Amino acid sequence: MGKTVIFNLAFLFFLSCGPKVDTNKLGQIREDDPILTEQEVNKLIDSENQMSVGTIGILVYDGFFNLDAFGPHSVLSGLIGTEVLLIAEKKGKVKTSSGVEIYVDNSIDEVEQLDILLIPGGTTGTVNTSKNDKILKWIRKIDSTSTFTTSVCTGAWILGEAGLLQNKKATTNWYRAKDRIESYGGKFLQERYVRDGKLWTSAGVSAGIDMSLALVNAIKGETYTKLLMLNLEYDPKPPVIGGSVNNTNKGLVNYMSQMYDSALGSK
């Protein structure tokens, strides 16, 4: 937490209070220069900035996966000047799939507009939420004016039930992914994350971090994204090869599929 606070304060200083840059005097700036001044970094960021984002909302519900929500939260909260809200159907306690309880002080009744909506995934909790007409109606309302509407993992199932995947390219958690996306009228792409216009979807769990970084890159540009990645020290190097259907032994994939079948049944 301390490192994030320091990072944010530093960014606020040179983005909001730092001196204006005379681009004629600075000349050409190379990102790979060994020493960059505050003004030069400021110029790089300003030259790449695409848009401003005021409010991001992450819809949470009983049974959502921790990392689906808090991985993107850690990334997106690095957008200076942006408020990231946790939102639930009702204010109060929400329990994650691993039993962690959080208190949510924003309800869908109070939130009428978001620049970005993000919906995390889960298992049975996701299925239950995808059948909640009140939440689906709210999602459609938010999507009607949002800049981006996004999902992580099986959160795409909720978007699908809301009718937002129709004729859209999308991805989701690997489990029966193609069948799921096509059942909602979408076209499945087996990618880490997929953008189709304002719609962003990611594959399972950790892929939400990559998608969120891609969002930051689309909003703020490459320099800002690299600074944020460095602040998070995001440079994953897993100890073994795996983590996707293509990189995992088929026997293990089938075993995991059976586990999901047992957990979800015919839902």
**Both 89 and 114 in a single domain?**
yes
Q: Which helix (H) or strand (E) holds 83?
A: strand 83-87
What does R_g of the chain's alpha carbons equal in angstroms? 20
User: Looking at the structure, do residues 89 and 138 belong to the same domain, yes or no?
Assistant: yes
Based on the fold, state whether residues 19 and 34 are members of the same structural domain: yes
Q: In terms of domains, do 17 and 114 share one?
A: no
Q: Print the domain residue range for 26.
A: 2-48
Q: Which of 153, 156, 215, 219 is catalytic?
A: 153
pLDDT at res. 133: 99
Whether 109 and 208 share a structural domain: yes
Q: For the chain, which residues score pLDDT lower than 50?
A: 1-7, 9-27
DSSP three-state, residue 166: coil
pLDDT digits (tens, 9 = 90+) for 234-246: 999 999 999 999 9
**Residue 259 lies inside a defined structural domain of this protein:** no
- Considering 48, 67, 82, which residue would you say is the last residue of a domain? 48
Each residue of 158-202: pLDDT tens digit?
999 999 999 999 999 999 999 999 999 999 999 999 999 999 999
Claim to verify: residue 171 and residue 191 sit in the same structural domain: yes
Is-catalytic flag, 17?
A: no
**What is the total count of domains within the chain?**
2
Query: Is residue 20 domain-resident?
Result: yes
* 267 found inside a domain: no
Asked whether residue 63 falls in the same domain as residue 14, the answer is no
- Residue 204 covered by a domain: yes
Q: Do 70 and 42 share a domain, yes or no?
A: no
Burial 162-194 (b: 16+ CB within 10 A, else e): bebbeebbbbbbbbebeebbeebebebbebbbb
The per-residue pLDDT for 34 is: 77
Do 149 and 128 share a domain, yes or no? yes
Q: Judge whether 9 lies within some domain.
A: yes
Say if residue 6 is in the same domain as residue 25: yes
Nearest to 61 by CA among 137, 109, 130, 146: 130
User: Residue 89 is part of a domain; what is its CATH number?
Assistant: 3.40.50.880
Cα–Cα nearest to 199, from 243, 162, 174: 162
β strands within the chain, DSSP E: 55-59, 83-87, 92-95, 101-104, 116-119, 148-151, 169-170, 187-188, 193-196, 199-202
pLDDT of residue 31: 63
Whether residues 120 and 6 fall in one domain:
no
Question: Do 15 and 134 lie in a common domain?
Answer: no
Mean of per-residue pLDDT scores for the chain: 91
Residue owning tokens 């994030």: 4
Output the furthest CA–CA distance in the chain (Å, rounded): 66
